[in-house]
Structures are given as structure tokens and as C-alpha cells.
Amino acid sequence: MNRRTALKAIGATLGAAAFAQAIAPLTQWTEDLTIDDYLQKHYKELSPFDLGVVMARMEKETKEATGVDVHIGDYRPQPGVKFGYALNLSVCVGCRRCAKACHVENNHDRPSGNSYIRVLEMQKGSLDLAKGRVNYDHAVPDAEKFYMPVQCQQCDKPPCVSVCPVEATWKEADGIVVVDYNWCIGCRYCEAACPYHARRFNWKKPEVPAAEINPDQGYLSNRLRPQGVMEKCTFCLHRSRQGKLPACLEACPTGARVFGNLLDPESEIRWVLKNKRVFVLKEDVGTQPSFFYFFDV
Amino acid sequence: MSNPSSGPETQARALAPSAPAVVPAHCPHTLAFHATSYRRFLWKVVCDATDGSAWFYAWMILLTAFALTGLHAWAVQVRDGLVVTGLSDHVSWGLYIANFTFMVGLAAGGVMMVIPAYLYHDHEMHDLTIVGELLAVAAIVMSICFVVVDMGRPERFWHMFPVVGRFNFPVSMLTWDVLVLNGYLGLNLHICGYLLYMRFRGERPNPRWYVPFVYLSIFWAISIHTVTAFLYSGLGGRPLWNTALLAPRFLVTAFIAGPAFIIVLLFALRRFGGMRLTERPVQVLVNIVRVTLLINLLMVASELFTDLYSGGAHTASVHYLFFGLHGANALVPWIWSAVAMGLASAVMFLRPGVVGHPVWLTLACVLAFVGIWIEKGMGLIVPAFIPSTLHEIVEYFPSLVEWQVMAGIWAWGLLILTVMLKIALPILRQPHPVVP
């Protein structure tokens, strides 16, 4: 062996050592990643039995990590139901209890105060979002303003769904756009595509103190989310698909929120659509929302 | 790069193995023959790539150090989450996707060498097309790396594979991008690999095995940047991107950045790699940049006019980018330096004698290149998110981790490019170019 070859061998060894050192954090990260997690199939490809196994595994993992007994259910759309939401801008006072209730119900990250709902304080006489503010901190309501909560509009033509390269997000039969947290690759293209700022990314693993974890969870809704995936409002499908109302509606002190089945002519939401002055947000972008705003007058 | 003094020696090595005489085209070899011959070729490739002067080793060690630093930063990001970046729900794409976009352009621009050579039968350019194609290969690898580091769950990349995963084709533009980028990578690897192998064999390449692919790669180059533009321009909720001019602008900027990089690269190869370089290919590239620089300025001005003359809420991003909005103005210095660089390089390129002044030409190329890099990144990706779709203004500042990862991928790309050129150079230094 000549000197040059020896030097090359030393260089290659040093390089390999430096490489191992550089990727060391990856080995710390993979400690939490089981082979079952890694190879888990798309929600739609799991048989009811497999899904049961997966949910049991997730409940067990939550128990081990937090000590909390949670129940994860798989709630499917009911036949003959298409959900719609309507919001009365004449009575909304901008108290943001809906946003708070969403935060608690959906096991959001506590330090960031995450919520699927943002409440805009709007200038009277304008629907220009540029004239609204979300970070107001005075007593509400301000007589010069009106208030417009914005959350996922569950569009009939959702741009977030079309752009997803791996079909990790889709629209269900009852109109709710969902995310499979175990299939999302975290590219955030859906977040760029959404015209309503309705999607939230898990920039880090969400932190919820054990005592505050909501144990009633849905596989496609409020179960504890992994790091690095997208999530969004699901009209609280773990509640609404069982005949209950979304948490934001229950929390609203003024009755500004109306939720129901658009296919049922007797429903309250159908009455609102028929009798009130209704509009949808950003109609011009062609997303066809199932979320309606209305005024009493 | 290799030491110029080792030129003749390397050249001798390059010509030495097996076939001494030029075998006519269409001369068939058995598979068994190629099995042996290809193994020898690969061995020579490995030897050429790992052997060089002290400067070569210093350069490679420097690039490796940067690449490993970037790899470490990325490993930390995967462990702790994308929270270590400056991104947020408001500005969800930043430095990584900006660089991805730019790299796709650089790859597309790499084939600007191919068009004069093949479409217009400019034989003097033939050898240099390999340089452009190798640049395209490195740039595509870098753009794929930039997408991977942007993923929140990179280990789930297999979800994107057809059959085993769920490939949302043809609806998602991102799946189109996966197809065209990988296709382009394959095309260029095939063309370069085939030509270099034939040179190694001392045989005349059979046009049937590469000319159709060369023509295909020209169209493909246009497709990669068009599809990448459609990624953005198809989003109705982002007015800054939602313009039909985006794809043409992407192509034009690609055909600035690509040739500008190649001009500087050719000078470097002449200086450090002992490559023969006549004035003509440089002249052709300079002409390309001259025209595309001006078209780009015209397009930028057209878009600015539409936005600023009419006004309205959908122009908020442009206002933010160029003048700041409600006191937020992080991008203003960026975009104005890009404009200044674009104008300065245009003036320098328009001078008739610029080809004869390598120093001025290099400076003009660097200005044009950096100007486009800013325009594609801080000037295109980031401002589309500011203000957000609900008109909140949240600014974006890349974190140290993002800069490290970015530097790492650039170093990795330059490393790949260096190794590939190191392999190709002994062949390119041969006295007679192969004319099909």
C-alpha cells in the first residue's frame, strides 16, 4: 500500500465517522417510530379488523406515554347526511369562546394556543378581510365593529384535497374534509392551497398536559396528533356523527352558530338558508363552501 | 478540480484501457463484452473521481464538511420538528421551497447548451452539452433534496410511490413534478452516461441511442419548469402566484440562471481543469442571457404595472414585497437588491465586448445568478404567504438550521457536480470531439 492509498483510507474512515456523528439525532428520533407505524396502510385500505388493531395500539401507546385512558373511535358518515354550518354575523360578539372550546375539544397544543377557528374583528361597512384584525384585546363587542369567525369551510371543491400528492386528505360522503394523520407526509401543499387559512401544521409534537387530554377521540379527528403532519377542523366529527353538536357551537353564548343536515328540509340550517341573507366567504375562488354567513336584517 | 499539470497523464490513462482503435458505429458487441467493459469503465470512473491534486482534495473536504453540517442540521430538524425553522402556519413554505424552485430552473437552464448544439447543428457546442447536462443532473438531485428536507415526515416518502403508496395522479401537480423531475434525471443520466462510456470505449456513439433522448430532454426541460410553475399558479387563494405569466417567467429566469452558471463553470474548468474553450460557445451563451435578461425585466415590469396601477386587496403581497405593508418590510431589501442586480447585469451584458472580458463577464453572470435566486425565493415563494389568506401579516426569517441545511445541499450538489466533471474532463480534453 502506498502513501496515497493509506491517506485515502484514513480520509474515508474519518468521513464515515463524521457522517455517523452527523446523523446521530435521527437515531434518537427513530426510537419512537415502530415498524407498525412505519408500514401502516392508508385509512381507506385498512380493513375494519386492522383498523381496530391500529386504534387499540394507539390507545395503548397513549396510556404508556401519558397515563390517560383514551377511547379512539372510528366514526363513519351517516347515510343521507351532508353537514352544513351557518353563522349569524348580526349576533356574534367576538368573545372567541368557540376558538377556546375548539382548542380544548380537539386536544390542541397548549403552548401555542392552537385552534381551528380565527375570529376577525371587522370594520363595519366592509367585507374586506384586509380591514379585519384577529389580535384585538379589548372588551367585546366594540360597537363600531362586527365579528367574523373563520374555520374550515368544508368546501365542495376543496383545493387542499386536489393538491395533496398522496391522498392523505379527502372529502367524505357527509361533506367533511379529513386528514389521515398517519399517511400525511407533511409537505404543506394543502396549507398553501387553502384560501381560508383553515389548516394547521404540527411543527412539533403537540403538548397537552395529561389532566387536560380529552379522552373521547376520533381516528380522523381529535386524537393526539403526531409531529410533522397536517390537521384541520372536522366539524368535530367524533361528536357530530353521533348526533351531537360541534364543540364551538355548544360554547357560543349568543346562539350565532347553526349546524345541521343540509339534506333534511326540516333542519334549522335549511330554514336559515331559505329565510336569511346568506353569503359564503371568497365565493370568487370557486371552492363552494358548506359554511355560510348570514345577517338578521 | 484536477491539477492542470496532471493533464497529459490523466489523458493518457483515459485513452489507455482496452479498445485502442476507433470502432465504427453500429458495430455490435455481445452483452458479455459489455459486462466486462462496463465494469472497467466504472472502475475508471471511481479512480478518476477519487484521485487528484491537493487542491482537489481540499475542495472536496470543504464541500464534505458543509454537506455534513447540513445533514446534521436536518437530522436535528427531523427529530425536533420543523419548529426549528422560521416557518409558521402563515408562512408555511420558505427557504427550502425557494431553493427547490430555483434548482428546477437551473436544471432546465442547463440544457440551453443543447438547443444550439443539436437544434441548430452547432458542432462546436456538442462537447459542452455534456457540461450542461451534468449541471442539470446535479441541480435535479439538489431540487429533490430540497423537497425532502421540507417534508414533515420524510420517512413516509414511499406513500408517494405508485402502487405501494397512493399516487394522486393526475390531480395533484406535485405528482406531476415527481414524474417530470425523475424523468429528467433519468434522461440526462442516460445521455451523459452513454456518451462518456462510448468515449471511454473509444467508439463513435450510435446516434440512435442518444439523439432522440437529447431532443426529448429539450422538451422535458421546458416541462419541468412549467409543471413547477403550475404548482403555484394553480392556487386561486394566492393572488401573487395566480398569474398566467408565472410559467413563462420561470422559463425565462431559468434561461438566465442556467447559462450564467455554465459560463462561470466553463471559465473555472479552463482555469482549473485544463479544458479547451473557444470563444464561440461563450458567445452563444452570452447572447442567450442578453435576450432572456431583458425579457425577464419586461415581464417583471408588466406584472408590477398590472398590480400597482389597478390596486385592490389582491395586490397586497406585491405591496408588501416592494414597499412593505403596515410597517412590516422584511423582504423589501431583498427584492430591491434583486432588481438592482438584474438591471446591473443587463447593462453589463449589453456591452458588445463583454465576451472579451472574462472578469466583467464573470461578475455580470454572478449578479444575474444571485438576482434570479432572490427573485425566485424571497421574491416569489415567501411574499405569496404575506399577508396570509385572512390578511394577517406574519413575517418570515429563515432560521440558522434552514441556512445550514441549505448550505449543506448546495455543497452536496457541488460535490456531485465536481465528481461528475472530474470523470468527464479527461474525456473532454481529448483532441477530437466526437461528431455524430
Give the residues across from A261 on adjacent strands: A83
At residue B425, the pLDDT reads 84
| Residues in B 2-21 with any Cβ partner in A closer than 8 A | none
Residue appearing with cell numbers 439525532: A25
* pLDDT, tens digit (0-9, with 9 covering 90-100), for A118-172: 999 999 999 999 999 999 999 999 999 999 999 999 999 999 999 999 999 999 9
B192, amino acid identity: C
Give the residues across from B374 on adjacent strands: none
At residue B318, the pLDDT reads 94
- DSSP-derived secondary structure for B350-390: HSGGGGG-HHHHHHHHHHHHHHHHHHHIIIIITGGGSS-TT
| Residues in B 73-92 with any Cβ partner in A closer than 8 A | 75-76, 78-83, 85, 87-90, 92
CB atoms within 10 A of CB B409: 27
CB contact under 8 A, B392 and A197: yes
**Pairing relation of β-strands A118-123 and A145-150?**
antiparallel
Q: Which three cell numbers stand for residue B239?
A: 393572488
* pLDDT, tens digit (0-9, with 9 covering 90-100), for A167-186: 999 999 999 999 999 999 99
At residue B378, the pLDDT reads 87
Nearest-by-Cβ selection for A189 from B88, B157, B174: B174
At residue B219, the pLDDT reads 87
Q: Which of B166, B171, B242 to mutate to test the interface with A (most CBs of A within 10 A)?
A: B166
Q: Average pLDDT in the A67-82 region? A: 96
Chain B positions touching A201 (Cβ under 8 A) are 82, 89, 92, 152
The DSSP code for B249 is: H
Nearest-by-Cβ selection for A192 from B50, B93, B171: B93
At residue B34, the pLDDT reads 85
| Residues in A 132-191 with any Cβ partner in B closer than 8 A | 132, 134, 150, 159, 162-168, 183-189, 191
- The answer to whether B394 contacts chain A (CB < 8 Å) is no
Q: Are B100 and B108 in contact (CB under 8 A)?
A: no
**CA B236-B246-B116 angle, 5° bins:** 155
Rounded to whole angstroms, what are the CA distances from A23 to A283, B303, B406? 48, 44, 16
Give the residues across from B40 on adjacent strands: none
**What is the spatial distance between Cα B388 and Cα B419, in angstroms, rounded to a whole number?**
43
| Residues in A 224-243 with any Cβ partner in B closer than 8 A | 226-230
At residue B4, the pLDDT reads 42
**Pairing relation of β-strands A216-218 and A230-232?**
unpaired
CB contact under 8 A, A187 and B90: no
CB contact under 8 A, B79 and A21: no
**What is the spatial distance between Cα A220 and Cα B99, in angstroms, rounded to a whole number?**
34
Chain A positions touching B150 (Cβ under 8 A) are 187-188
Q: Are A195 and A285 in contact (CB under 8 A)?
A: yes
- The answer to whether A192 contacts chain B (CB < 8 Å) is yes
Q: Which of B391, B394, B412, B415 to mutate to test the interface with A (most CBs of A within 10 A)?
A: B391
Q: Are B243 and A199 in contact (CB under 8 A)?
A: no
**Pairing relation of β-strands A291-295 and A277-279?**
antiparallel
| Residues in B 290-319 with any Cβ partner in A closer than 8 A | 313, 316
At residue B431, the pLDDT reads 53
* pLDDT, tens digit (0-9, with 9 covering 90-100), for A181-223: 999 999 999 999 999 999 999 999 999 999 999 999 999 999 9
Q: Are B123 and B271 in contact (CB under 8 A)?
A: no
At residue B90, the pLDDT reads 96
Burial of B172 (C-beta count, 10 Å sphere; 0-12/13-18/19+): buried
Nearest-10 Cα torsion for B249, B251, B257, B258: 180
At residue B51, the pLDDT reads 85
* pLDDT, tens digit (0-9, with 9 covering 90-100), for A242-278: 999 999 999 999 999 999 999 999 999 999 999 999 9
At residue B27, the pLDDT reads 57
At residue B22, the pLDDT reads 52
Closest among A149, A131, A89 to B392, alpha carbons compared: A131
Chain A positions touching B240 (Cβ under 8 A) are none
The DSSP code for B117 is: I
3-state secondary structure of A261: strand
Q: Which three cell numbers stand for residue A40?
A: 401502516
Structure ipTM: 0.94
Q: Are B67 and B412 in contact (CB under 8 A)?
A: yes
CB contact under 8 A, B83 and A203: yes
| B300 Cβ neighbours under 8 A, 6+ residues apart | B249, B339, B342, B375
At residue B86, the pLDDT reads 97
**What is the spatial distance between Cα A189 and Cα A230, in angstroms, rounded to a whole number?**
10
CB contact under 8 A, A162 and B153: no
At residue B430, the pLDDT reads 62
Q: Are B141 and B416 in contact (CB under 8 A)?
A: yes
In this model, does residue A289 exceed pLDDT 50?
yes
Mean pLDDT by runs of 10 across the 436 residues of chain B is 41 42 58 87 87 90 96 97 97 96 93 76 76 93 96 94 90 91 94 87 85 89 92 94 94 94 93 84 92 95 91 88 93 96 95 90 97 93 95 96 98 96 80 47
